[in-house]
Amino acid sequence: MNEYEFEYNGSGFTVEASSAPFPHSMTLRVHELLSTNQDSFLAFDFTSQSDNPMEGFSSIPTLPYGLDKLGTSLLNHKCLQYINTISKFSFDAGVTIVGDTSEIVWKTLGAIQRYQQANPGMQQASIHF
Amino acid sequence: MVRKDGILHRAIKVYWMNYSMGRSITLSSDFISKTAGTLQNSSEILPDQPHISSVVSRQVKSAMHIILQDEIRNLFRDLEGEWSSKNRKAFALCLCTNLIVCMLIEQIQADIDALVLYKICEEGQDATRTHESGMKACRALEDVAMHYSWTLFNKVQKSYNPVKNGCPADNGSGQNEGEAALVKDIRQLMDDHSM
């Protein structure tokens, strides 16, 4: 195994993965990965930045998991399902703004969603990816 | 063929896909607490850190990137046809989609800023040239995508602008109540933000 290769350890586990602070996730089967290069598992810690943005970020170790070939081949479908789900998120008045979305963006998305809901034809519309 | 009313759905999906691409992929804590002890590399897992796997993140974002490229192309292809519609009913649809395109571009510009910082801080690239390159990319997004979409929109809707002139649902303009409510919401937003 060279430093750019991984070996899978074990038969895998099921995890729930989410890319945003929505109450939705996608179910993925991941495996523990073994590598001679532990840098493969590092990620930037975006909370570590000082007041000076030019100082950059420090790195932190992350979980040594990854999808195998079968899991990767199913990813497109799972990502589409996930995006379909979070795209239906309700922007009703009173719901707390999600994450770092600005107020004007949140309200604009809410207005667009109310327009969609007021047009039954649009509710039934679907896109074929 | 994508139906006319599918364009807005596509735009919303593109927006959230791009939003997700700019965020960390986090894994459920239940799984980690159950299995952490069985991992050969369990010393790498610290309980007070977000549950992230850099490899899973790259795999998911690679898949999303491919989908996103196709969807952005398809969105502009479909929208271009819709912009040329003289039908007043197309007004609300194009307005909503154009607004989402604007918000999408704002997201991408923030991503470009982050990329510029990364290239300067982590890759040691020349700060002035990298900054200029980022500014150029941001300007191109505004000149090409944003300016183009609103120019086409305003050209077609030159004689009919309910956002500017108001649009009561019962004035015989062809707008339904949902479209009139949309115009009211957008006008209110513009007032609230002094536009």
* pLDDT one-digit tens code per residue, B105-150: 999 999 999 899 889 988 889 999 999 999 999 999 998 888 888 8
- The yes-or-no verdict on residue B4 having pLDDT over 60 is no
Instruction: Return the residue in A42, A97, A123, A127 with the most chain B beta carbons within 10 A, the one to mutate for interface testing.
Output: A127
B5 has a chain A CB within 8 A of its CB: yes
User: In terms of pLDDT, which residue wins out, A119 or A98?
Assistant: A119
Whole-number average pLDDT of chain B: 81
User: In terms of pLDDT, which residue wins out, A107 or B38?
Assistant: A107
A40 has a chain B CB within 8 A of its CB: yes
Q: Are B58 and A62 in contact (CB under 8 A)?
A: no
**Most confident region among A41-45, A46-50, A66-70, A98-102 by mean pLDDT:** A66-70
Does the beta-carbon distance from A61 to B46 stay under 8 Å? yes
d(CA A7, CA B57): 18
* Confidence (pLDDT) at B38: 60
d(CA B32, CA A63): 9
pTM for the full predicted model = 0.83
* Confidence (pLDDT) at B2: 44
- Smallest Cβ distance to A20: which of B19, B52, B122? B19
Secondary structure tally for chain B: helices H, strands E? 8, 1
* Confidence (pLDDT) at B49: 61
Query: Above 0.95 for ipTM, yes or no?
Result: no
DSSP code for A3: T
To which H or E segment does residue B90 belong? Answer: helix B90-121
Using CB atoms and an 8 Å cut-off, which of residues 134-173 of chain B contact chain A?
none
Query: Which residues of chain B are within 8 Å of residue A104 when distances are taken between CB atoms?
Result: 189, 193
Mention every residue, 6+ apart, whose C-beta is less than 8 A from residue B82.
B4, B7, B90, B93, B94, B97
* Confidence (pLDDT) at A125: 38
Q: Are A18 and A24 in contact (CB under 8 A)?
A: yes
| Structure-token pair, residue B138 | 């941001």
User: In terms of pLDDT, which residue wins out, A44 or B36?
Assistant: A44
Q: Are A38 and A1 in contact (CB under 8 A)?
A: no
B86 has a chain A CB within 8 A of its CB: no
d(CA A60, CA A57): 10
Does the beta-carbon distance from A15 to B27 stay under 8 Å? yes
* pLDDT one-digit tens code per residue, A9-45: 777 888 889 886 677 899 999 988 888 787 888 887 7
Distance from CA of B185 to the nearest CA of A (A): 6
| Structure-token pair, residue A51 | 């007041």
Instruction: Return the residue in B7, B9, B35 with the most chain A beta carbons within 10 A, the one to mutate for interface testing.
Output: B9
What φ, ψ does residue A33 adopt, rounded to 5°? -110, 140
Q: Are B186 and A115 in contact (CB under 8 A)?
A: no
| Structure-token pair, residue B160 | 């009919």
Q: Are A41 and B52 in contact (CB under 8 A)?
A: no
* Confidence (pLDDT) at B47: 60
For residue B32, give the nearest of A18, A35, A65 by alpha carbon: A65
A50 has a chain B CB within 8 A of its CB: no
Whole-number average pLDDT of chain A: 78
- Smallest Cβ distance to A62: which of B21, B40, B54? B54
- Smallest Cβ distance to B122: which of A6, A56, A99? A56
d(CA A88, CA A85): 6
User: In terms of pLDDT, which residue wins out, A33 or A125?
Assistant: A33
A73 has a chain B CB within 8 A of its CB: no
* Confidence (pLDDT) at A12: 81
Mean pLDDT of all residues in A35-64? 75
Distance from CA of A18 to the nearest CA of B (A): 5
Q: Are B48 and A36 in contact (CB under 8 A)?
A: no
Q: Which residues pair with A66 in a beta bridge?
A: A31
